[in-house]
Structure 1
Amino acid sequence: MTGPRTLQPLPIPTGPAVHSILPALAAALAGAGPALLPVPADDPRARNLLLDTLDPGKPIDDRVALVVATSGTTGTPKGALLTAAGLRAGAAATHARLGGSGHWLLALPAHHIAGLQVLLRSLAAGTTPTVLDVAAGFDPAAFATAVSQMPGPRRYTSLVPTQLIKALNHPAARAALAGLDAVLVGGAATPRPLLERALAAEVAVVRTYGMSETCGGCVYDGVPLDGVQVRIDDGRVVLGGATVALGYRGRPGHPAFAEPGWYRTDDLGRIDDGILQVLGRLDEAVSTGGLTVLPHVVEAVLMLHPAVRECAVFGLPDDRLGERVVAAVVPQDVTAVVPHDVTAVVPHGPADLPAVRAHVAAALGPTAAPREVFLLDELPLRGPGKVDRAALRARFYQSAARSSNN
């Protein structure tokens, strides 16, 4: 007689060594073997945090195949309990939407759900994934070489927006993108100017929406995959279907999973003509002067400014308004940023404060217009491609405090 099923850590290497974990993932996808907790093999701090938080070795529901950590905003990860049936359903629905199974290129860390799904879809398709080593960052030239080595007939990859920007700026990588049958882009919102630029380069971009709690992307270009349901409750996006996790490891009764088979996200959204539009996260809204500003909406307008390559909008404490709307901007000409002097308010130039305020105010009104603009050479990220707004708030709150004390 065997004992209770337990959760076992699965160290995930980087680069081609990731092929060594495919047999374990194949067993999990088939519903065999132990439940697995993917952890980064080369990041002791992150690995130990997951091991300490998610209790490997303790019993677990027989239906669970993988426990995948959320990227989280609080610093304490939660472990989504994903079933083998849900993972298989997600892979099948993805291939059905894309036009058939094919070969995949892994260009994301494989311990996050987006990278894991590249491996799981490959296994479901009976193909071997091509692997790009991104341990030292995304190299567009290496990406182009990796794409050239992919067998056909159908070829796919999954990227985050920052990777897509770098690839489009590199001629060989841009041509490689155009040769793929689909380029899934998720992890963060894809700004419209970036989408239009990719489409102009004849890249078959598919915008994905989903999270660890839904086996990754489950809504493509605003349309749910087969078997996925979407509804809006009081402005909040709620997702249902076979890909939804059973809950969180060690957190029974969590309100996000209060309704069996459904996951209540922290995202605001609406459905127009059957197309889901995600407006931003509830916990990122800025309350300024008694009004609410959604950063995602402001960012969409800012990205239309010709001097802005990337941006992030967030709130800082304000004695008069409660919070003031501010923006961190990566300009199109990154060389304009002075190294180690990235906390100064931009005083002039094509992305100066008056120009940015006027640009946003014309579209959204003065309340949404940033009252400060910070110039950066890159935005801080957490997880696979998500802007770390908490890090931005901490950095610029401290800067503002120092300035007020001088």
Structure 2
Amino acid sequence: MTKPFDPQAFAAAAVARLTGPGGRFEMVVEDVLGAPVPVMRHRGRSLGDLLAASVSWGERDYLVTEERRLSFTEHAAAVGALARALRDRYGVEKGDRIGILAANTAEWVMTFWAAQCLGAIAVGYNAWWTPREIAYGVEHTKPAVLVVDAKRAALVAELDIRVPVLTMEHDLPALIDEFDSGTLPLTEVEEDDPAVVLYTSGTSGRPKGAVHSQRNVLAVIGYHQFNDALGAEFAGATEPPSGRRFLLTSPLFHIASLHNLVVPRLVTGDTAVIYQGSYDADRVLRLIERERITNWGAMPTMATRLLEQDLSRYDLSSLASFSLNSAPSSAALQHQLREQLPVAKTALVTSYGLTECSTAATLASPAELAAFPDTVGRPVIGAAVQVRDNAGNAVPDGTEGEICVRSVYVMLGYWDDAAATAAAITEDRWLRTGDIGVLTDGRLRLSGRRSDLILRGGENVYPTEIEQCLEEHPAVRECAVIGVPHPDLGQQVAALVVVESASATTEEELQAFTAERIAYYKVPARWRLTTTALPRNATGKVMRTSIAHGWD
């Protein structure tokens, strides 16, 4: 009698083969910044080396947009020329920052890789920032050069920026043409040298720059290669699939698109198809059809809008993998996707991660997500996840507490912010996420995002920054900003504002005031103006839970 197939037992055996002694992804414990951390024995040590090796993929497409295609060979040549130009014309050296402020373009990716050739640090600024926020970011990380697209160039022109500003439309092509001959510059780096800074919203009211090392980003590549190999084991294949086409719809200044999509493709030889412009479900679906997209990771908001279309009008048969990223997804949305999107029936996955982690901390397989719709999965390879109480002690199974993560993926810290780094990372390298969750039988469930965090369409919004902005208005005495439910975005920003008098200002005036100072997605969409003081508890803290009632 044939024994029934046990997927969990099969997976455990496959993982043991891949990660055990002599395995391709053999795991060993090494000292990483003073803590014992599992790492892959056979791993890359330099992102620049990976760029040099990428020419072996030849004329395969690496980057594709609606208007152009860039092969691996063409990309490496352009990156080499740009790196030589940045070094020879602008004096960029190891450890210097190269700022990138732009929407998704091939030049964004090329600038990132040019930084890695020089041992420089690529700084991805949020392309939705206002001039005031841009000024803060540039002053904070002090780039040697700032690379921008035309739209952001107009914003930068309003500022007193004292560094060279290079446009993607004109300056970069001219530099690449001018410096098109020469060897690929490669600078020797250490594994724990910083490679990239990506900004995350800060509870203190200012964005914080999460610093990711060479080791962090290289480990993310290894994580994706391991997942590919594990998938091949389940498929009965000797090698992972090749020639896949990944759709990029999230900003490159997010880890989802940069670390977890564009960068690994350089190593796996797959294609990154870059969607450009504001999200339009019909355009995305036509792009999937035209480019024969095989893999797509979407924000839940994108998936919701996708389902508003008549999917039978599009050929989506190429899709083999679909994931929900960047925000929690509801059981109802997952069910709708399985009902309407063919790939979701068998390949829908979700994960939990944050900028400070470089990649996912947990991953839910299709079968596990179908059985437990509220789970975000189990710890990924090389990651340890604990739920802890306020004293930092691990709590029993099934008990709510703060999610803490330790792994090779955890950032070095926050740029030029020792206090915030010390608050987030313990001496033994556990990252305190500030998120609340429950571990049950190894599966993680989120029971709340960070205490005050608003998750609007996949973007993290912290109330403090908006409150501080509003309080600059002369008519505002105090205010509280909260997230209220929204059927499409998940949450939208709402503000309760205490004003001097009923005639002191208007919602329209406050909306215009904030829109000039902070990114559009942070501007409150719902307003209440009052002359009554905010409710506070005995210690003087605003009682946000009472404010949250009655916004429906």
TM-score clears 0.5 = yes
1:68 alignment partner, SS class: strand
Counterparts of 2:217 and 2:320, CA distance in 1:
22
Q: Is the 8 A contact 1:144 1:173 kept in 2?
A: no
1:37 aligns with 2:178: no
1:52 aligns with 2:139: yes
Deviation at 1:161, TM superposition (A): 1.0
Counterparts of 1:3 and 1:111, CA distance in 2:
21
Aligned to 1:110: 252
Q: Is the 8 A contact 1:140 1:167 kept in 2?
A: yes
265, 275, 288: which is aligned to 1:147? 288
Deviation at 1:87, TM superposition (A): 1.3
Deviation at 1:150, TM superposition (A): 3.1
Aligned residues: 309
Counterparts of 2:313 and 2:386, CA distance in 1:
36
Aligned to 1:281: 449
Q: Is the 8 A contact 2:383 2:407 kept in 1?
A: yes
Counterparts of 1:261 and 1:123, CA distance in 2:
29
Q: Based on CA coordinates, which of the two structures has the bigger radius of gyration?
A: 2
2:329 alignment partner, SS class: coil
Call closer, same or farther: CA 1:232–1:132 in 2, change over 3 Å. Answer: same
Counterparts of 1:264 and 1:178, CA distance in 2:
41
Deviation at 1:158, TM superposition (A): 2.0
Please show how residues 204-243 of structure 1 align to structure 2 within 5 Å. 204-221=347-364, 222-234=377-389, 235-243=401-409
Please show how residues 118-197 of structure 1 align to structure 2 within 5 Å. 118-134=261-277, 137-150=278-291, 155-172=294-311, 179-197=318-336
Counterparts of 2:121 and 2:269, CA distance in 1:
22
Counterparts of 1:219 and 1:53, CA distance in 2:
31
Please show how residues 4-19 of structure 1 align to structure 2 within 5 Å. 5-15=94-104, 18-19=105-106
Aligned to 1:246: 412
250, 258, 264: which is aligned to 2:426? 258
Counterparts of 2:428 and 2:313, CA distance in 1:
43
Call closer, same or farther: CA 1:41–1:266 in 2, change over 3 Å. Answer: closer
Residue identity opposite 1:283 in structure 2: S
Aligned to 1:86: 216
Call closer, same or farther: CA 1:399–1:175 in 2, change over 3 Å. Answer: farther
Counterparts of 1:173 and 1:56, CA distance in 2:
48
Deviation sequence 1:314-362 (CA, Å, 0-9, x none): 9xxxxxxxxx9x9845469xxxxxxxxx99xxxxxxxxxxxxxxxxxxx
Counterparts of 2:305 and 2:450, CA distance in 1:
30
Name structure 1 gaps, 5 residues minimum: 286-294, 297-311, 315-323, 333-341, 344-386
Residue identity opposite 2:402 in structure 1: R
Q: Is the 8 A contact 1:81 1:249 kept in 2?
A: yes
Q: Is the 8 A contact 1:9 1:39 kept in 2?
A: no
Q: Is the 8 A contact 1:157 1:183 kept in 2?
A: yes
Deviation at 1:399, TM superposition (A): 3.6
2:119 alignment partner, SS class: coil
Q: Is the 8 A contact 2:286 2:314 kept in 1?
A: no
Aligned to 2:544: none
Q: Is the 8 A contact 1:38 1:111 kept in 2?
A: yes
- Structure 1 moving runs of 4+ over 6 Å: none
Deviation at 1:196, TM superposition (A): 1.4
Deviation sequence 1:240-260 (CA, Å, 0-9, x none): 111100111112252211234
Deviation at 1:159, TM superposition (A): 1.5
Name structure 2 gaps, 5 residues minimum: 1-90, 146-188, 232-239, 365-376, 390-400, 456-460, 464-479, 489-493, 496-520, 535-552
39, 44, 63: which is aligned to 2:193? 63
112, 117, 123: which is aligned to 1:25? 112
Counterparts of 1:209 and 1:276, CA distance in 2:
9
Q: Is the 8 A contact 1:103 1:156 kept in 2?
A: yes
Deviation at 1:10, TM superposition (A): 3.2
Deviation at 1:32, TM superposition (A): 5.2
1:104 alignment partner, SS class: strand
Call closer, same or farther: CA 1:12–1:391 in 2, change over 3 Å. Answer: same
Residue identity opposite 1:133 in structure 2: Q
Deviation sequence 1:193-230 (CA, Å, 0-9, x none): 11111122332322121111011323212122211111
Q: Is the 8 A contact 2:122 2:196 kept in 1?
A: yes
Aligned to 1:300: none
Q: Is the 8 A contact 1:167 1:173 kept in 2?
A: no
Counterparts of 2:143 and 2:101, CA distance in 1:
15
Call closer, same or farther: CA 1:191–1:179 in 2, change over 3 Å. Answer: farther
Q: TM-score, normalised by structure 1?
A: 0.64
Call closer, same or farther: CA 1:109–1:174 in 2, change over 3 Å. Answer: farther
Call closer, same or farther: CA 1:92–1:171 in 2, change over 3 Å. Answer: farther
Call closer, same or farther: CA 1:176–1:133 in 2, change over 3 Å. Answer: farther
Counterparts of 2:359 and 2:312, CA distance in 1:
25
1:223 alignment partner, SS class: strand
Q: Is the 8 A contact 2:99 2:143 kept in 1?
A: no
Counterparts of 2:315 and 2:361, CA distance in 1:
25
